[in-house]
């Protein structure tokens, strides 16, 4: 049985933070602490939002603020699955609930694309993205033999945001809107 009160508390607390018209810096400080607390406990995510697909990673909408000020989604990664190189155009936080993820960071400019480095994220850890702190990355399940799950919080309804993928060789952008696996 899921501890739904844990997720409800997270949404209530995050909504209060957003209603304070918090700056990105405050969201990354106070909001990150809330997300660390949430992903440090693996007793609340309903099983229907933890199901992998054999073909691609899943993006399940868990909550969208009624005013589109933030959204929360679970990303479910089958063994070895990865995203294309992409951006977000809004602030975001990625918290690891199960398994592990590898994040490859990039910069894109008129001269093309450049790989900046890679880091590993384990359960309970949170990564930050935004146009101000670094917004272009590729995320992969760090495991070739098991599922990983991360919880993402974004500063908009990320399923409706016009974003970009980038050609890993040239940096050429292509528009996309991610949508969600589920219809919430």
Helix or strand or coil: residue 180? coil
Q: Please determine, for residue 3, whether its predicted confidence score (pLDDT) is greater than 90.
A: no
pLDDT at 19: 95
The pTM of the whole model exceeds 0.85: yes
Phi, psi of 26 (to 5 degrees): -70, -40
User: For the chain, what is the total number of helices (H) and then of strands (E)?
Assistant: 3, 10
Per residue in 68-118, pLDDT tens?
999 999 999 999 999 999 999 999 999 999 999 999 999 998 889 999 999
Domain ranges of the chain: 4-176
Q: What are the structure tokens assigned to 39, written together? A: 């992903």
Q: How far is CA 127 from the centre of its chain?
A: 9
Residue 1 binned pLDDT confidence (cut-offs 50, 70, 90) = very low
In this structure, is the dihedral angle defined by the CA atoms of residues 109, 115, 116 and 119, taken in order, positive or negative?
positive
Q: Which residues of 90-102 are buried (b: 16+ CB within 10 A; e: fewer)?
A: bbbbbbbbbbbbb
Residues 6 or more apart from 97 whose CB is under 8 A from it?
Answer: 39, 42, 45, 74, 123, 149, 150, 151
Instruction: Tell me the per-residue pLDDT of 123-143, one tens digit each, with 9 for 90 and over.
Output: 999 999 999 999 999 999 999
Q: Answer for the pair 14, 64: CB distance below 8 angstroms, yes or no.
A: no
- Per-residue confidence (pLDDT) for residue 184, from 0 to 100: 54
Instruction: Evaluate whether the domain defined by 4-176 bears CATH number 2.60.120.10.
Output: yes
């Amino acid at each position: 049985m899921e501890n739904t009160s844990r997720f409800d508390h997270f949404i209530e607390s995050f909504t209060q933070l957003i209603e304070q018209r918090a700056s990105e810096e405050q969201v990354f400080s106070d909001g990150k602490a809330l997300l660390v607390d949430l992903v440090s406990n693996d007793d609340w995510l309903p099983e229907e939002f933890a199901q992998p697909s054999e073909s691609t990673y899943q993006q399940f909408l868990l909550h969208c603020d009624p005013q589109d000020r933030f959204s929360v989604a679970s990303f479910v990664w089958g063994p070895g699955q990865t995203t294309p190189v992409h951006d977000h155009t809004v602030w975001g936080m990625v918290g690891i609930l199960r398994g592990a993820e590898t994040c490859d960071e990039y910069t894109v400019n008129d001269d093309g694309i450049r790989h900046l480095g890679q880091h590993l994220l384990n359960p309970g850890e949170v990564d930050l993205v935004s146009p101000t702190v670094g917004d272009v990355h590729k995320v992969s399940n760090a495991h070739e033999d098991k599922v990983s799950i991360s919880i993402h919080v974004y500063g908009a309804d990320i399923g409706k945001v016009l974003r970009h993928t980038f050609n890993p060789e040239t940096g050429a952008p292509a528009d996309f809107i991610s949508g969600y696996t589920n219809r919430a």
